[in-house]
Amino acid sequence: MDSAEFDYSLPPERIAQRPARPRDASRILLLSRHEGALAAAGSPISHAFFRDLPRYLRPGDLLVVNDARVVAARLRGRKQATGGGVEILLLGPAGQGRWRALARGLGRAPSGTKLSFTSAASAESLEEKLEAELLGREPDGAVLLGFSGIAAEAPTRLGEMPIPPYIRKGRADEQDRSDYQTCFAATPGAVAAPTASLHFTRELLERISARGVEVARLTLHVGWGTFAPIDRDRLDAGRLHSERFALDEGAARAVNEAKAEGRRVIAVGTTTARVLESVADSSGRVEAQKGATDLFIRPGHRFRCMNALITNFHLPRSSLLMLVAAFAGREHVLDAYREALAQDYRFYSYGDAMFIY
């Protein structure tokens, strides 16, 4: 397999810079995987608005969502010695005021380099200043930073939402603090949003519940590796970046009961799909557990747990597009992407959705 097989051309103006308002006013492309449905409908593709989703769900369906909460992980500051600008993306705490991070602007700066950050909202406030020291570099390209100052234990207090670089060149504003968070968000730790869930509203969930559809929650803390290009080494190894997840007893029981009763398990997002397929046994049963997964779902994967998928339109050559292609077939999915382009759909994190069933 070659990542070039998952390439397509996307005009920059088709990349959504803000979500639809209200959120469920986004569009949804419905893609059938079943030959019988194709013959009856004449086409595997149809179009609707996300607010119409209950019409396409069945009583007894189980929607499984990711309740990860995005943290304000992007810090902008300067090197104290030179004044040169730096941009930090916090990846997670490493104990005793230390954090793993990705860094831009450090160049070949040696260990011991001092950095300063201030809150964008309170740039003159001494209480909102933060300092860090470069402690070292790690084999995966991350750096280790030691923080000091009043916000040392929670440097995300001074951070901004880590929207992807294709959205306004990664420059988040106050509106993104709510826009880049799902209505399910509860468990902090993600540095990217589970974007398939961005389309849901409280009102839509009430209509879904009234339809007799159940909702279960799990957690996968989306890492920045989700945007990493797929190189030859990753393809050959068949594993991806690792991400932490948690599936509790209640969610596991809901999945297993749905499977036993022949009801559909619908993964909301590729992150949810990754957890379900990581923990499912050969019969599709899951067990409550916490851990990390480096599962790489690509064409050839045998899906054991999920029956349908709600997802966004993903970057060319990405692991997320490969996962969708594994579920619905590469040519089938690329045909759907071409149709979406022809119908003026909006792409990527703040863009429109697909329901593959």
Structural domain spans, the chain: 3-70+176-356, 74-158
The pLDDT confidence band at residue 231, using thresholds 50, 70 and 90, is low
Percent of the chain's residues with pLDDT above 90: 80
Pairing of strands 289-295, 239-247: antiparallel
Distance CA 145, CA 130 (A): 12
- Take residue 59 and report the two structure tokens written for it: 């009583």
Give the pLDDT confidence score for residue 35 in this predicted structure.
58
pLDDT tens, residue by residue, 25-67: 999 999 999 754 444 556 799 999 999 999 999 999 999 999 9
| DSSP type of residue 126 | G
Classified as helix, coil or strand, 350 is coil
Give the pLDDT confidence score for residue 122 in this predicted structure.
45
pLDDT tens, residue by residue, 242-276: 899 999 999 999 999 999 999 999 999 999 999 99
* pLDDT for 9 beyond 60: yes
101's CB contacts (< 8 A; 6+ apart) are: 88, 89, 90, 91, 142, 143, 144, 145
Give the pLDDT confidence score for residue 38 in this predicted structure.
47
pLDDT tens, residue by residue, 87-112: 999 988 888 889 999 999 999 999 99
* pLDDT for 326 beyond 60: yes
Supply φ then ψ for residue 237, to 5 degrees. Answer: -75, -30
Give the pLDDT confidence score for residue 123 in this predicted structure.
45
Q: For the beta carbon of residue 53, count every other beta carbon within 10 angstroms.
A: 23
> What is the C-alpha radius of gyration for the chain, rounded to an integer number of angstroms?
21
Give the pLDDT confidence score for residue 126 in this predicted structure.
44
Mean of the pLDDT values across residues 165-184? 96
The pLDDT confidence band at residue 120, using thresholds 50, 70 and 90, is low
Residue type, 41: A
Give the pLDDT confidence score for residue 3 in this predicted structure.
85
Supply φ then ψ for residue 60, to 5 degrees. Answer: 100, -15
* pLDDT for 177 beyond 80: yes
Mean of the pLDDT values across residues 65-71? 97
* pLDDT for 152 beyond 90: no
Pairing of strands 239-247, 187-190: unpaired
Distance CA 213, CA 263 (A): 10
Mean of the pLDDT values across residues 332-346? 97
CATH number for the segment(s) 74-158: 2.40.10.240
3-state helix, strand, coil in the chain (%, to 5): 30, 30, 40
Long-range contacts (CB closer than 8 Å, 24 or more residues apart) made by 58-61: 58/213, 58/263, 58/264, 59/211, 59/212, 59/213, 60/212, 60/213, 60/214, 60/258, 60/261, 60/263, 60/264, 61/213, 61/214, 61/258, 61/263, 61/264, 61/266
67's CB contacts (< 8 A; 6+ apart) are: 182, 184, 185, 186, 187, 217, 218, 219
Mean pLDDT in the chain? 91
Distance CA 194, CA 310 (A): 11
Q: Which CATH superfamily is domain 3-70+176-356 in?
A: QueA-like (3.40.1780.10)
Cβ-count burial 87-103 (b if 16+ within 10 Å, e if not): ebbbbebbeebbbbbbb
Give the pLDDT confidence score for residue 283 in this predicted structure.
95
Give the pLDDT confidence score for residue 73 in this predicted structure.
93
* pLDDT for 117 beyond 60: yes
More confident residue, 152 or 52: 52
Instruction: Please state, in angstroms and as integers, the Cα–Cα distance from residue 313 to each residue in 103, 130, 355, following that order.
Output: 28, 37, 11
Angle 320-322-323 from CA coordinates, rounded to 5°: 65
Query: Picking from 5-19, 26-40, 165-179, 301-315, which range would have the lowest pLDDT averaged per residue?
Result: 26-40
Supply φ then ψ for residue 293, to 5 degrees. Answer: -125, 140
Give the pLDDT confidence score for residue 234 in this predicted structure.
62
Contact 117, 133 (CB under 8 A): no
Mean of the pLDDT values across residues 286-294? 96
- Take residue 90 and report the two structure tokens written for it: 């916090």
Classified as helix, coil or strand, 98 is strand
Q: For the beta carbon of residue 85, count every other beta carbon within 10 angstroms.
A: 11
Mean of the pLDDT values across residues 201-213? 98
Percent of the chain's residues with pLDDT above 70: 90
- Computed from CA positions of residues 33, 67, 212, 258, in that sequence, does the dihedral angle turn out positive or negative? positive
